[in-house]
Structure 1
C-alpha cells in the first residue's frame, strides 16, 4: 500500500514532495545563473574596446555580484544538507520514475545516515543511496506502523471464509484480525476503503453472534432439568 503524503501526529500533510522539488529547482536555477554570469563576464573582458576598456570599478562591482550569487548557492546547498540531516532516523518513501515517465514508490524505510557529494545530498535507506530530491514522503512512525498493520489485516481477511460461512473454527483468526484492527491509532478511514471497513464490521458482528450462540447452548447444557424446560419453553412433568 502506497502512501503519498507526509504524516505527522496522525494528520496527512501533502507538502514534502513539493518542498523537495522546489528546493531542487531553486538550486538548478542558481547553477544556471552562476554559469551565465561567468560567461557574460568573460565575454565582456574578451571583447571590450581596447581604447575604452571597462574600469576597475565596474569589474569590482560585477565581481561582487558574482560573489553574492555564489553565496546564495552555498546557502541553498546548506539548506539542502540540513533538510536531509533532519531526516536521519525518520521513515521516508523514495520516489522514482519508470521508462514511461510514471512515478512510483521505489523504497520505504528509515534514513540511516546522510552524505553530501558534488553539490547533492544523499539519504541512505535500506543500504541504498538516494538523492534527497527523491524523497516523496516523510512518515510518522506510528502511522507507518499502522500502514503495515492494515496490510496484515487485509491478508487475514483474504484467508477467512465469507461472513455467512464463518464458524468458531475460525475463532483464532477472527480474534487476531479484530485485535490488530483495534490496535490502530490512525483513523481507519485513512487506511481502509469503505468497502473494507464494512467487511471488517460484518466479521465482528458475525463473530459476536457465534459467541452468543455458543454461550446460550452452553447455558442450556449446564442448567438443571427444570431450568432446561423453562429455557426451551417445554413444561417438565
Structure 2
C-alpha cells in the first residue's frame, strides 16, 4: 500500500512526488508508539526517507542514472540526528534522576513554584515528569535547581523578616511586647551569618534597637522589683516592733491590774482586822 502511494513521475533522472506521496509524507510526520504519538521536528523521518530513496532508485532513468551521493549524505544526516535525539533523551533521563531529592523552581503559568522533587516518571506524551509537593509537572517547566542550604537560608530569612515586621518601633516598646520579641529572638538565634545575610539590613537594625530597648526595660523592672523586696523586711521589722510594744503595754496593764487587786485585798484584810479588834474591846467592856 505504501509503495503504491509513493509512485511518481521520473523526469530527467529526478523523482517528482505525486499528490498522494505528499499526503503520505504529511501523514507520517508523527510516529505512533505505545498507542501515543511523538511529534517529530522534521517533515520526514528516516523510514520515510528510505522509502523515497528506494522509489528513486526503482524509477530512475537507466540511461541517465541519478547521483546517489546526495542521498547517502542525507541518510548520514538522518542517522546523526537520530543519534543526537537518543543522546538527548538519555541526558534528560540522567538529569531527571539526578535532581530527585533536590529543590527545584518551576515556571507554571507565569508563577514560580518551588519545592522538593520526590520522584520522577516518564510520560509518553509529555516526557519526564517531576513530582513536587504531591503534584506532577513537566520537566521542561523547570527553570532552576536550588541549593538546599540556599533554599533553607532564604526560607528562615523570610520567617525572621515577617517576625521583625510585627515588632513595634524601639520608642514604643513596652514590657508587654515580650511575646513578639521573644518569637523574633528565637528565630534570630537559630540562624548563622549566612542565613542572616539574606535579611534586609534595615530590618536587622530595627530588631537590634527593639531588643536593646526591651532589655533596658526588663532590667529596670527587675531592679524595681528587687528594691521592693529589700523594703519589705524593714516594714516587717516595724510591724514586729509595734506588735512587741503593744504586747509590753498589755503586760504592763496586766501587772498593774494585778497589783491593784492585791492592794484592794490587803486593805480589805486590814479593815476586817480592825473590826475584829473593836468587837473584842466592846465585848470586854460589857463584861
TM-score range, shorter chain: 0.5 to 0.7
TM-score, normalising length: structure 1: 0.64
Kept in 2, the 8 Å contact 1:146–1:186? The answer is no
Encode CA deviations 1:131-189: one digit per residue, 9 max, x unaligned. Answer: 22322232333433333333333333343333222112221321221120121236356
Give 5+ residue unaligned stretches, structure 2: 1-39, 233-287
Counterpart of 1:88 in 2: which secondary structure?
coil
Partner of 2:184: 177
Cα 1:185–1:131 shift into 2, 3 Å: farther
Counterpart of 1:93 in 2: which secondary structure?
strand
> Is residue 60 of structure 2 the alignment partner of residue 53 of structure 1?
no
CA distance in 2, matches of 1:39, 1:151: 56
Counterpart of 1:187 in 2: which secondary structure?
helix
Partner of 1:206: 213
Root-mean-square deviation over aligned CA pairs: 3.3
CA distance in 2, matches of 1:186, 1:96: 33
> Is residue 105 of structure 2 the alignment partner of residue 93 of structure 1?
yes
* Match runs of 1:30-69 below 5 Å: 32=41, 35=43, 41=49, 45=53, 50=61, 51-55=64-68, 59-69=71-81
Partner of 2:114: 108
Cα 1:153–1:187 shift into 2, 3 Å: same
Cα 1:36–1:207 shift into 2, 3 Å: farther
Cα 1:89–1:186 shift into 2, 3 Å: farther
Give 5+ residue unaligned stretches, structure 1: 1-30, 99-103, 226-237
CA distance in 1, matches of 2:139, 2:174: 51
Shift of 1:113: 1.0
Kept in 2, the 8 Å contact 1:112–1:124? The answer is yes
Partner of 2:96: 84
Encode CA deviations 1:198-230: one digit per residue, 9 max, x unaligned. Answer: 2222222222222322233234334479xxxxx
- Which of 125-134 and 152-161 deviates more? 152-161
> Is residue 139 of structure 2 the alignment partner of residue 153 of structure 1?
no
CA distance in 2, matches of 1:35, 1:183: 60
Shift of 1:38: 5.4
* Match runs of 1:131-150 below 5 Å: 131-150=138-157
Cα 1:210–1:47 shift into 2, 3 Å: farther
CA distance in 2, matches of 1:201, 1:133: 45
Partner of 2:87: 75
